[in-house]
Amino acid sequence: MKKIVLLSSGQPSVNPRLVKEANSLTTAGYDVSVIYSFWTHWAWEKDKQLFATVSWQPILAGGAPYKDKCLYFFTRLRYKIVSLIANNITLKFGIAEMAKGRASVELFRKAKSIKASFYIAHNLAALPVAVKAAKYHLAKCGFDAEDFHRQEVSDFPLEFNYKISKFLEDKYLSSCAYLSSASPLIAKAYKKLYPQLDPVVINNVFEKKFVQNQIERGDDKLKLFWFSQTVGKNRGLEDVIGALNLLANDQIELYLLGNSNNDIEDYFNNLKKNSQTNIYFHKPIHSEEIFRFTSQFDIGLALEPGFCYNNKIALSNKLFTYLISGLAIIASDTAAQKDFLTENEEIGCVYSIGNVAELATKIDYFFKNRIYLRACQGMAVQLAVTKYNWENESKIFINSLKLFI
């Protein structure tokens, strides 16, 4: 049985893409280990629940506040020091590698201890680890580009994330046998930079077992839904609240799911201009519960603001969560989302970023035309069943890897 190692500087439960790939590889008969690092407290218990259900081996590197505490605090101190050096002095001599991930050294030690046929990095901090481990064991490696990393934070070449990401990509991507991406436009962007690579597109879709039946609620409300790990400013939510203020219709409600605090909730509540604008906040739930929860709403909001190039060309898992949950979609007109809605126009519509009046008009049209709404919802489910599902994408993933393993 061939061994494959997946690597991430974050936790599996906050990276559904990594989990799906690990599960698919074990189903295909590979021996799989996932080496990861602690990233956030709220995912710790979710990791425990996840690990009880999987066939692959999870391996923690770099400690955590709940395990190997001394190592965890040492790596935090080291990370602060190398980050200062990277920001102010140099990215060379291994500084960039350590400054991109708190536990990059420990990730490599764990990866080096496991002889595998293939190593796959699932974020940029893990890319050097995959390349070095593959070279050590005379194996091959790959990289999953869920984002276009150098322009993930800013398009300004002198901004730190741009500089360090470009440095690491230029240094290590040429050593990869395999590159996958999470959208067609991300694949094109990397192909332009590295013509020797042939990126394969693996969409952020889900298994068909999560397809939800449409729910008839028996009321006249129109429920809008948005989710992310964190509810925050400048993520398009201001557009929606502005549109609801214009509509002044208490039958249209906005539901937000994600980590938030009193300050953020006060910020959004203070944007309301009248008592007819209703906003409801929900705390994060387990990833496999998101689909049933989402299915109770009518329209999924994909509100990417296009603040950087990556944000313009990425296709988030929001879109595919809405599809499989049976929601119509309203999306901002980033390049990737506009292409997606043009190809699949029967599921919803796009609006111009920042155009609150246009967004209000499109929300109002859904409210007044329930036949159109139900048609979009039905087409969303149909596309999830026939086209945009992990059963289809996993075949692309496995068959692409077989060329190198």
Mean pLDDT to the nearest integer, 71-81? 98
Taking 80 as the threshold, does the pLDDT of residue 77 lie above it?
A: yes
What is the domain-level CATH number for residue 334? Answer: 3.40.50.2000
pLDDT value of residue 302: 97
286: pLDDT strictly greater than 80: no
Could you tell me if 195 and 220 lie in one domain?
no
The answer to whether residues 142 and 176 touch, using CB atoms and an 8 Å cutoff, is yes
Check residue 182 and give its pLDDT.
96
Average pLDDT over residues 87-94: 97
Higher-pLDDT residue of 248 and 1 is 248
Q: Is the pLDDT of residue 229 over 90?
A: no
Alpha carbon distances (Å) from 28 to 73, 86, 145, 207, 395: 38, 41, 22, 16, 10
- More reliable by pLDDT, 1 or 373: 373
- Asked if 201 and 326 sit in the same domain, the reply is no
The pLDDT assigned to 207 comes to 95
Q: Please check whether residues 218 and 191 belong to one and the same domain.
A: no
Chain position carrying tokens 């509540």: 269
| Together in a domain, 293 and 257 | yes
255 and 150 together in one domain: no
Q: How many CA atoms lie within 13 A of 38 on its CB side?
A: 19
Same domain? 228 vs 366: yes
- Structurally, how many domains does the chain consist of? 2
Token readout for 42 is 């709220």
Structural contact between residues 196 and 185, judged by C-beta atoms closer than 8 angstroms: no
Same domain, 58 and 200: yes
Mean pLDDT of 27-50: 94
In which residue are the tokens 């708190």 written? 102
Count of CB atoms situated within 10 Å of the CB of 45: 12
Distance, CA of 105 to CA of 107 (rounded, Å): 5
Residue 302 belongs to domain spanning? 208-386
Mean pLDDT for 285-309 is 93
Return the half-sphere exposure (C-beta side, CA atoms, 13 A cut-off) of residue 15. Answer: 27
Residue 126 and residue 197 in one domain: yes
pLDDT at 5 over 80: yes
Asked if residue 105 and residue 44 are part of one domain, the reply reads: yes
Do 329 and 273 lie in a common domain? Answer: yes
Could you count the other beta carbons within 10 Å of the beta carbon of residue 306?
Answer: 18
Instruction: Please give the Cα distance from 106 to 240 (Å, whole number).
Output: 43
pLDDT tens for 112-168 read 999 999 999 999 999 999 999 999 999 999 999 999 999 999 999 999 999 999 999
